[in-house]
Amino acid sequence: MMMSLIIYSQSSNALKSEIHRANDSLLKQVRYTIDAQIDLMKRLNMEITWNAKLQSLMYSNIRQSDDQFLAFQLVKEFRMYQTSYAMIDEFYVTWDQTSSILRPGNVRDMKTAFDTIHNTGTLRYEQWLDTINNAANNQFLLLPHTDAESPQTSIAYIAHLPKDLNGKQTGTVVVMADLERFQKAMETISGFSGGQILILNHDNQVLLSNLPVSVNTNLILEQALDPDHVAYSQAANGDSELFYMQSAVSDLKYVLVIPSGIYWEKAEYVRNFTYVSILISLIGACVLTWFFMRRNYSPIQRLVQSLSDKHSAEERTDGNELSFIQRVISDTRSEKDQIELQWQSHQYVLRSNMLNRLLKGKIDTLISYEEAFKSFDMELVSNEFAVILFAVENNEKLSSNLPGMDLNERRKLIQFIITNVVEELVGHRHHAGYVAEVDDMMVCLVNFAENAAAERKEDLSWIASEAQRFLLRYHMDLTISIGGIHSSLFGVAQAYREALDAMEYKMVRGKSEIITYDEIRIDSADKLQLGYYYPLQVEQQIINLIKIGDYESASASMSEIMERNFNKPLVSLTLARCLIFNLVGTMVKAINELGDGDSRLLGDNPLWMDSIIACDTILEMQQELLALLKEVCAHAAAKIGSNSSKERAETLRELIANVTRYIEDHYQDANLNVNTIGERFELKGSYVSKLFKDGTGEGLLDYITKFRIQQAKRMIGYKQDSISEIAKSVGYNEVATFIRVFKKYEGITPGKYKEMH
């Protein structure tokens, strides 16, 4: 069989090489001719797309009348394109903004353009619109063309114009060439080779064929085509041979399908001889295979039968006994590994549950804790115990630093890190440490070694500080509390309660601290220091400062109160919370005393009290409290400022009215000026002038002059007095001064004005 295949391969390759060379040359000739036409279509499309008038029409914000004029100029330029590209039978641009078609020499609406260009009865108007709007960019399609020769069809190159700034479609360029231009290039090669030529677009759809597309040809076109170079492939149905190549200027493909009878005509003898040789080889191979299988397959068959007793026959879907044996062994190993993992997981859960019950003082197990420790490979090195609590304060930040993990996975990872670090640190001090999760905190049970009893407290402090420092590398902010040292397993619960009490004291000490129970333990001698300082007179003083909006003084008084209460060796948590709530109550009282019972400030912030209660530490409460104080003081200051502004505006209006009346009563006085008015109202003249201008927008001296000119105009209109007498009547001793001022404000002299009226 090997020799027959080698002979057949060599002879077939020689024949195929010659046939390929001939057919490739013919197909390249077709590609060259059609690519020239396609290149013209793409170049015309490029010139239209980047036409300056088309860019202005599609993307400039111009008036509708200018749009129509610009469109008229554009279609006139299209006529020059039509002359330059004589091989292009039709082209147009869709103008989506006006639902119009731009053709060489005219602008038509969509329906009229469709009837003129494409309405041959094979394509409806709606189908044409869908094709134009939804076709892929730079796509070749078949479209009907009324002016083309039979079958009235053209190859169309469709390119969408870029979208506008609002992301809307602007238009589409369609360039068409009739099928007749392509058919002539295809007839020559098809007549020479006796095959069928097809032109395919990017989606392997047939655009053009010299023969009707048959079912067998469709099966051939379903094969994947290599876009990079000329290639050969045998058709799927075995009746035809396929040559194809990619266009050099577009994404079109050229396919030559030759009947196998023609293709293999010269190689028929070699093929038949090879078939006979292979058939003889196959018969001999079957005989040898049957013999060796009978001798060697029986042991494997018995092994498969023994494995099938434990595995159903349905599992043997591949029919390969060796694969079945390998799969059974692999499944057995996987099952064993899975059982081992489940056992380890259950052991961790059971160990955590045992430590949880021990820490909470539940000594009601069926077996002793000593036996339980042994079953979990936990060695008790002595009878002395202590408890260390670890609280992670920045879970939200850790969650953002660990993307792609769900909440449960992040929690397990944090527990794993803390467990390994803390247990290793405890072991570094030659003690035994066992970590478990209890009530959202990590708890380490420390079992001390027998020696160095005096250094146990120092060891606990060292373990806590090193754990806190080392875990900062993993961006963990830890608050750590340490209980007292107790003897026997029954003292573990007491050590745990002491650690919880110390952890609660982080409210006063703050987060990310190390708190030991010995530091917060309150003896009877210390109770004298647990005072509470917030007298009524101090509260009233703070209320008064808030009412006048003095944030600096009010915040200083509050800070002094908190410092006086919290800067003590020991602070009662209950009294600390009580002080914070009393300070909040002080601000509520101040708001209610601001004047008109305005409580909008409280109504707009219903969660003030909740946000303060939710704080974990006194420092956070103090920050929330000062933020609340700042807002309350700003509200009070704004209220006071609003009231004072109203009083000042009312006083200014009254002053302006009095000044105006005084001018109207004394405008005839030649000595009337800014200073005399200021003396009348017991103010500086310049200050009165400034207030008058702020209130009216007009200078005081200008107002006096305009009022005198107005009165003079009135006198000129109905009196027969001379200009000199009228000037003295309105407060001007010099008639020349009156004439100059009158002309400045009226543009003409008093004499001219008298003649006109």
CA dihedral 635, 638, 643, 649 (to 10 degrees): -160
**What pLDDT does residue 524 have?**
44
Residue 542 reports pLDDT greater than 50: yes
pLDDT in tens, 229-285: 444 555 444 566 777 778 888 878 878 777 766 666 666 777 777 788 888 888 888
142 vs 576, which has greater pLDDT?
A: 142
**Mean pLDDT along residues 8-27:** 76
**Mean pLDDT along residues 58-87:** 84
**What pLDDT does residue 172 have?**
93
Q: Which long-range contacts (CB under 8 A, 24 or more apart) does 745-750 make?
A: 745/705, 745/706, 745/709, 746/709, 746/713, 750/712, 750/716, 750/723, 750/726
**What pLDDT does residue 190 have?**
58
Residue 113 reports pLDDT greater than 70: yes
**What pLDDT does residue 193 have?**
56
**Mean pLDDT along residues 298-306:** 75
214 vs 514, which has greater pLDDT?
A: 514
- pLDDT bin (cut points 50, 70, 90) of residue 568 is low
**What pLDDT does residue 394 have?**
77
Residue 68 reports pLDDT greater than 70: yes
Residue 131 reports pLDDT greater than 80: yes
pLDDT in tens, 220-243: 555 545 544 444 555 444 566 777
Instruction: Look up tokens 């060891």; give the residue.
Output: 459
Q: How many CB atoms lie within 10 A of CB 326?
A: 11
Most confident of the following: 44-48, 401-405, 525-529, 671-675: 44-48
Question: Looking at residue 162, what DSSP letter applies?
Answer: P
Sign of the alpha-carbon torsion through 77, 80, 84, 90: positive
195 vs 426, which has greater pLDDT?
A: 426
- Residue 242, phi then psi, degrees to nearest 5: -120, 125
Q: 223-237, 429-443, 557-571, 742-756: which range is least confident on average?
A: 223-237
**What pLDDT does residue 229 have?**
45
**Mean pLDDT along residues 679-689:** 82
**What pLDDT does residue 173 have?**
93
Residue 657 reports pLDDT greater than 70: yes
Q: Which of 702, 708, 654, 707 is nearest to 681 (CA)?
A: 654
What's the mean per-residue pLDDT of the chain? Answer: 79
Q: What is the pTM of this model?
A: 0.39
Residue 176 reports pLDDT greater than 80: yes
**Mean pLDDT along residues 109-138:** 89
Q: What is the DSSP string of 680-731?
A: HTTS-HHHHHHHHHHHHSS-HHHHHHHHHHHHHHHHHHH----HHHHHHHTT
**What pLDDT does residue 158 have?**
92
- pLDDT bin (cut points 50, 70, 90) of residue 92 is very high
d(CA 408, CA 386): 29
- Residue 364, phi then psi, degrees to nearest 5: -125, 30
Strands 514-516 and 478-482, by their bridges, are: parallel
Residue 28 reports pLDDT greater than 70: yes
d(CA 551, CA 545): 7
Q: What is the DSSP string of 182-237?
A: HHHHHHHHHHHH--EEEEE-TT--EEEESSPPPHHHHHHHTS---SSS-EEEE-TT
Strands 90-95 and 171-178, by their bridges, are: antiparallel
Q: Which domains does the chain have, with CATH numbers?
A: 45-84+90-177 (3.30.450), 343-519 (3.30.70.270), 536-643 (no CATH), 647-756 (1.10.10.60)
**What pLDDT does residue 597 have?**
47
pLDDT in tens, 339-350: 877 776 677 777
Q: Return the amino acid letter for 618.
A: I
**What pLDDT does residue 307 have?**
74
**Mean pLDDT along residues 393-409:** 70
**What pLDDT does residue 245 have?**
79
The two three-digit tokens of residue 101, written as one number: 């078609």
* Percent of the chain residues topping a pLDDT of 70: 83
719 vs 101, which has greater pLDDT?
A: 101
Residue 602 reports pLDDT greater than 50: yes
Reported as type and span, the H/E element at residue 241 is: strand 240-246
Maximum Cα–Cα distance across the chain: 153
404 vs 654, which has greater pLDDT?
A: 654
Q: 3-17, 21-35, 633-647, 652-666: which range is least confident on average?
A: 633-647
**What pLDDT does residue 528 have?**
43
Residue 313 reports pLDDT greater than 70: no
pLDDT in tens, 329-388: 888 888 888 887 777 667 777 788 888 888 887 766 667 777 777 777 788 888 889 999
